[in-house]
């Protein structure tokens, strides 16, 4: 079997790692693979968003199955392109990917289908948005409607902050087209949960729920990032809560998408928050989460490849929950100094030889190999996943291993999983 992975971050390295375990004999290819993926697959030197060139390449190279990691190629219509030429591909069509690529669309879909989410208004006009913020007061959340590489949501504690966020998006166009429409929504308080539903558009297999750590600083302080670490399982995701996620969130969302002639086949990621008023959706994504995938897949016992191939070939899934090994996984992101603001690249990375083991996996994200050297090439550089019988052991092993990786300016959070550890201590 010849499998193409589109994308080259930590999530895609984790996909490669898992699919390789599911089908060791397969040949793997990836677009511009990072320094860790490169030794385990063949490199395809085409941009992930160049969907026309990629489908041509996939035909010439007899690819049997393609799996798309990031949202940008999905929003560009990579699945529509591949299907047109008869290539099996896992991911939603561009129309369905709007659930992530347009927050305005996603909020409207949720609102119409009665799916619990923060109250919101959508604006394209700056004075109207400013007036709304002054009327509502802080705290309040300002979001670019389009794709903004995880940086488009600003949680504002003062009206001033919210006014400056909306001015930078609608006035100064810091996110370009993506910020020409903004969603302003009510601030929700509670613990977050990431749920991955692998779906054929009607039925879903729910993977192990996990928890991301979005803020850059220890104790969840500082600006939002793409995610500084994650862990799974999460004890707030009880069987009752997951039943509610399925019946009140995932299933009605899939039905609403079908009714909107945008059936969703792929991985629907629900970003949830458990508030005092119950569970609410913060956002939907149309792909696997990063860094959550780096804890969910190492725990997954079932074959991911079987599920993905079934959906890509237009088959039906047996609804249920994917089996997970009875351990805890914690991943700690090692980031470049300055991230999530500007940071330098091309710093030499040193990873101690004995660091990697059966229970310590180093997923590369922003790395590249040049003339035998491993160098940084992004803000989130590596994700170190540790597996252990308890949250404390996994968290300590992950933070300890992250601390042993060296490059100029490297930093990580050493408190990933702190909420779960507090619960276990009580």
Contact, 150 vs 71, CB < 8 A? no
Which of ligand GLY, ligand AMP, none sits in contact with 155, Cβ below 5 to 8 A by type? ligand AMP
From the list ligand AMP, ligand GLY, none, which binds 227 (C-beta under 5 to 8 Å, kind-based)? ligand GLY
Does 185 participate in binding ligand AMP (rule CB under 6 A)? Answer: yes
Strand spans (E) along 377-426: 380-388
**Which segment (49-57, 151-159, 240-248, 331-339) binds ligand AMP by CB under 6 A?**
151-159
CA 46, CA 58: separation in Å to the nearest integer? 11
Question: What is the 8-class DSSP label of residue 311?
Answer: H
Separation between Cα atoms, residue 114 and residue 108, nearest integer Å: 10
Which of ligand GLY, ligand AMP, none does residue 289 bind (CB under 5 to 8 Å by kind)? ligand GLY
Please report which helix (H) or strand (E) contains residue 155, including its range. Answer: strand 153-156
Q: Which is nearer to ligand AMP, 120 or 203 (CB)?
A: 120
Beta strands in 317-379 (DSSP E): 320-321, 328-335, 360-364, 367-370, 373-376
CB of 192 to ligand GLY, least distance (A): 10
Residue 265 to residue 245: CA distance in whole angstroms: 18
Q: What angle do CA 214, 217, 220 make, to 5 degrees?
A: 55
Judge contact between 19 and 40, C-beta under 8 A.
Answer: no
What is the H or E stretch that residue 156 is in?
strand 153-156
**Least Å from the CB of residue 331 to ligand AMP:** 16
Smallest distance from ligand GLY to CB 304, Å: 17
| Per-residue binder mask for ligand AMP (CB under 6 A), 80-119, x = binder | --------------------------------------x-
Q: Is the dihedral of CA 26, 27, 32, 36 positive or negative?
A: positive
187 counts as binding ligand AMP under rule CB under 6 A: yes
Contacting range for ligand AMP; rule: CB under 6 A; set: 62-70, 74-82, 184-192, 416-424: 184-192
Asked if residues 116 and 192 have their Cβ atoms less than 8 Å apart, the reply is no
Q: How far is the CB of 101 from ligand AMP (least distance, A)?
A: 12
Minimum separation from the CB atom of position 267 to ligand AMP (A): 16
Selection from ligand GLY, ligand AMP, none that 290 binds (CB < 5 to 8 A by kind) is ligand GLY
Q: Which does 57 bind (CB under 5 to 8 A by kind): ligand GLY, ligand AMP, none?
A: none
Name the residues that contact ligand AMP, by CB under 6 A.
Answer: 118, 141, 143, 152-153, 155, 185-188, 192, 214, 224, 271, 282-283
């Amino acid at each position: 079997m010849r499998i193409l992975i589109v994308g080259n971050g930590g999530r895609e390295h984790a996909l490669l790692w898992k699919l390789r375990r599911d089908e060791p004999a397969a040949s793997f290819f990836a677009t511009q693979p990072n320094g860790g993926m490169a030794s385990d697959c063949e490199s395809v030197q085409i941009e992930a968003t160049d969907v026309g060139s990629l489908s041509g390449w996939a035909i010439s190279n007899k690819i049997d199955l393609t799996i798309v990691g990031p949202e940008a190629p999905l929003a560009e219509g990579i699945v529509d392109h591949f299907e047109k030429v008869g290539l099996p591909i896992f991911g939603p069509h561009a129309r369905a990917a709007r659930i992530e690529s347009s927050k305005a669309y996603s909020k409207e879909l949720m609102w119409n289908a009665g799916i619990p989410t923060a109250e919101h208004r959508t604006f394209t006009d700056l004075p109207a948005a400013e007036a709304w913020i002054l009327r509502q007061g802080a705290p309040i959340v300002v979001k670019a409607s389009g794709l903004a590489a995880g940086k488009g949501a600003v949680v504002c504690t003062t009206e001033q902050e919210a006014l400056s966020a909306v001015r930078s998006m609608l006035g100064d166009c810091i996110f370009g087209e993506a910020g020409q429409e903004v969603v302003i929504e009510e601030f929700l308080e509670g613990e977050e949960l990431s749920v991955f539903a692998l779906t054929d558009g009607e039925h879903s297999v729910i993977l192990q729920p996990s928890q991301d750590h979005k803020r850059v600083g220890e104790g969840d302080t500082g600006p939002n990032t793409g995610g500084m670490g994650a862990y799974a399982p999460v004890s707030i995701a009880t069987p009752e809560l997951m039943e509610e996620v399925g019946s009140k969130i995932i299933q009605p969302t899939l039905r609403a998408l079908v009714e909107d002639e945008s059936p969703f086949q792929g991985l629907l990621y629900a970003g949830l928050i458990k508030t005092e008023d119950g569970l609410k959706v913060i956002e939907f994504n149309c792909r696997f989460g990063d860094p959550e995938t780096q804890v969910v897949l190492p725990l997954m016992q079932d074959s991911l490849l079987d599920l993905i191939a079934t959906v890509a070939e237009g088959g039906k899934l047996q609804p249920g929950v994917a089996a997970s090994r009875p351990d805890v996984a914690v991943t700690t992101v090692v980031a470049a100094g300055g991230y999530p603001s500007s940071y330098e690249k091309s710093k030499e990375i040193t990873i101690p030889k004995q660091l990697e083991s059966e229970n310590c996996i180093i997923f590369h994200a922003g790395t590249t190999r040049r003339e035998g050297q491993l160098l940084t090439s992004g803000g989130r550089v590596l994700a170190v996943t540790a597996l252990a019988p308890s949250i404390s052991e996994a968290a300590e092993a992950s933070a300890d291993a992250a601390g042993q990786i060296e490059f100029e300016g490297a930093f990580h959070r050493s408190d990933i999983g702190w909420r779960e550890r507090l619960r276990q201590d009580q």
